[in-house]
Structure 1
Amino acid sequence: MIEFEKRLVAREALKLIGDVKLLGLGSGSTVAIFVEELAKSDKAGKIKVIPSSKQIEEVARNQGLEVIYPDGERPEITVDGADEIDSNLNLLKGGGGALLREKVLAYNSSTYVIIADHTKLVEKLCSKRALPVEVLPYGVSWTLGNLIKRFNCDARIRIKDLSPFITDNGNVIVDINCPPLEDPASMESEVKGVPGVVEVGIFVGLADLVLIARGSEVKVVRQGF
């Protein structure tokens, strides 16, 4: 059912593209499905894409899409996924480790669209998942210790294949196991105030449009409503 919902919401997002010439692409499994649907559509040969990660760049290239890098012109629309979405359309992102580039794309896009299955809806961010934080390798043990001290929470360097997970930017990810967030904006600001932190996986006020699939239906929620 979840895979069906991902495919359904990806197809619904494709209807929003219109005559867009430059499209930003987030990361994750739902965005990968969106890329597949885009490649099969009549828009494929008329559009250029800016990927947020090596993962989604590979998917786009394998599907025959024209990939470019951020330089001057900004995306008219960026389509992205999320790990969690609260009722105010705040997002938790970074499960795949691409949060920094995803936030850069989101901030510089005219319209930022989130697509997700219904399991991503939560009352408060960090209800189900840890908070991802991208951290410089330089002094990482200090930064980790400072995060633990500041928030009195368990925090750990993300490990993949027995080694620290390295982002596309050459940084590491620290996952903070904190209580559900009462004030995501304040938490974002506090975490970014710790030296060594590059970016945090809290996206406040960036999503213009959220498409949520539940069963055979897609609900569309706009910022401010």
Structure 2
Amino acid sequence: MIEFEKRVVAREALKLIGDAKLVGLGSGSTVAIFVEELAKSDRANKISVIPSSKQIEEVASDLGLKVIYPDDERPEITVDGADEIDSDLNLLKGGGGALLREKVLAYNSSTYVIIADHTKLVERLCSKRALPVEVLPYGASWTLDNLRKRLNCDVGIRMKDLSPFVTDNGNLIADISCPPIDDPASIESEIKGVPGVVEVGIFVGLADLVLVARGSEVKVLRQGF
């Protein structure tokens, strides 16, 4: 059912592309499905895409979409996924490790659209998942220790195949196991105050629209749901 919902919401997001010529692409499994649908659409040979990760870049290239890299021109629309979405449309992101580039795209897009299945809706961020934070490899153990002291939470480096996971930017991901967050903006600011932190997987006030599939129905969410 979840895979079905991802396909349903990806197809609905296609309707928002309109006459856009430059489309930003987030990361993750739902975005990968959106890229598949975009490549099959009548807009495929009329647009260029800016991917936020090597994973999505590979998917887009393999499907014949024109991939470009950030320059002076900014995306008219970016379609992205999320790990969690709270009632104020704040987002938890970084499950795939692409949170830094995703936030750059979100900040620089005219319209930032999130697509998700219904399981991503939560009352408060970090209800189900740890909080990802991208950190510099240099002094990483100090950074993690400072995060533990500042937040009073467990913090660990994300691993992949028995080695630290490395982002497309050459950085590491620290996963913070914290209670559900009441004030995402405050926590984001608190974490960014630690030297060595590159970016935080909390996206506050960036989503213009959130499309959520439940079965075959797609709801468009704005502030509060």
Q: TM-score range by the shorter chain?
A: over 0.9
Q: Which residue is 1:5 aligned to?
A: 5
Q: TM-score if structure 2 supplies the norm length?
A: 0.99
1:150 to 2:154 alignment: no
Secondary structure at 2:169 match in 1: coil
Q: Distance in 2 between matches of 1:82 and 1:179?
A: 19
- Summarize deviations over 1:58-85 as a string: whole Å, max 9, x none: 0000110000000100000000000000
- Summarize deviations over 1:106-159 as a string: whole Å, max 9, x none: 000000000000000000000000000000000000001000111111100000
Q: Give 1:222 deviation, angstroms.
A: 2.6
| Distance change (3 Å), C-alpha of 1:130 and 1:224 | closer
Q: Give 1:46 deviation, angstroms.
A: 0.2
Q: Which amino acid aligns with 1:66?
A: K
> Contact between 1:209 and 1:223, CA under 8 Å: does it hold in 2?
no
Secondary structure at 2:221 match in 1: strand
Secondary structure at 2:126 match in 1: coil
1:109 to 2:105 alignment: no
Q: Which residue is 1:44 aligned to?
A: 44
> Contact between 1:116 and 1:211, CA under 8 Å: does it hold in 2?
yes
Q: Which residue is 1:188 aligned to?
A: 188
RMSD over equivalenced CA pairs, Å: 0.9
Q: Distance in 2 between matches of 1:49 and 1:223?
A: 28
Any residues of structure 2 matched to 1:7-156 within 5 Å, and which? Answer: 7-156=7-156
| Structure 2 unpaired stretches of 5+ | none
Q: Distance in 1 between matches of 2:167 and 2:216?
A: 35
1:178 to 2:178 alignment: yes
Q: Which residue is 2:202 aligned to?
A: 202
Q: Distance in 2 between matches of 1:223 and 1:208?
A: 9
Secondary structure at 2:175 match in 1: strand
> Contact between 1:157 and 1:164, CA under 8 Å: does it hold in 2?
yes
Q: What percentage of residue pairs aligned between the two structures are identical? A: 87
Moved over 3 A (4+): none
Q: TM-score if structure 1 supplies the norm length?
A: 0.99
> Contact between 2:87 and 2:223, CA under 8 Å: does it hold in 1?
no
Q: Which amino acid aligns with 1:164?
A: P
Q: Give 1:221 deviation, angstroms.
A: 1.2
Q: Give 1:216 deviation, angstroms.
A: 1.1
